[in-house]
Amino acid sequence: MAFAEYPVQSLMYITNRPELVFTEGKGSWLTDHNGKRYLDFVQGWAVNCLGHSNQAMIDALVDQSKKLFNPSPAFYNEPMLKLAKQLTDASCFDKVFFANSGAEANEGAIKLARKWGRKHKNGAFEIITMDHSFHGRTLATMSASGKAGWDTIFAPQVPGFPKAELNDLASVEKLINDKTVAIMLEPVQGEGGVIPASREFMQGLRKLADQHKLLFIVDEVQTGCGRCGTMFAYELSGVEPDIMTLGKGIGGGVPLAALLCTAESPASKPATRAAPTTATR
């Protein structure tokens, strides 16, 4: 089938695409409509952690499809419970909320932090994020991101995301005020240029959060699930965040993401570990 025969005009424009249509993928290779093969260094923008058409994933998807698709989040389902326990057993967190994408998980983290701010910080809602960061393409996560030009694309932005500099603790500290509820960052900035937060910076953020009774949020959509040598990148710094988000690698190419948080503590305990466990709506 020639490229001109494909109904590309039916797709909404989002970016310039080359005139080829991928029809198959196996491992690290993609094949287009002309049968030409390409070594795929993109892998769905860092999504396909096991490559294309991994047999173990195919088998798992087929087996589950014969049992149950989606009974709705209003009910428990067996895979949900098993995965939630695996994630809490492997991390410092107690509760899990599942979503479809990393942007949704980050949106949930923002909502969770603001809910916590109403309960524990007199309505504080500002979340300090980092310049050059990337947290997603929803309105709130674009506002949280520090990508150049994103402040005008869909203006006005969602308020409440002052920007600090990665690995500059003083730049974070000077932004903290009575409206601040959390600090949020990628342990390794992805679209910002693959720039890691230093161990000292991560530990300094944890201390600042404890000192000012703030939530410490790590966006591990790209770094989580073993991609930095440990299961989660925060482990490399010897810190325990209050909230973590996962995406990309957790689903290996299918729509899956997760928001994790510590259990809600009694009001008599320090507010730094008191992230609410209620889901995000």
CA distance 85 to 70: 19
Q: φ and ψ at 257, to 5 degrees? A: -150, 170
CB count, 10 Å around CB of 272?
19
CB count, 10 Å around CB of 231?
15
HSE at residue 35, side-chain half, CA atoms within 13 A, is 1
CA distance 124 to 114: 7
Residues noted as catalytic: 134, 219, 248
> Of 229, 233, 226, whose CA–CA distance to 249 is shortest?
226
> Strand 188-189 to strand 195-196: parallel, antiparallel, or no bridges (unpaired)?
antiparallel
> Of 219, 254, 280, 274, whose CA–CA distance to 100 is shortest?
254
> Of 128, 77, 68, whose CA–CA distance to 98 is shortest?
77
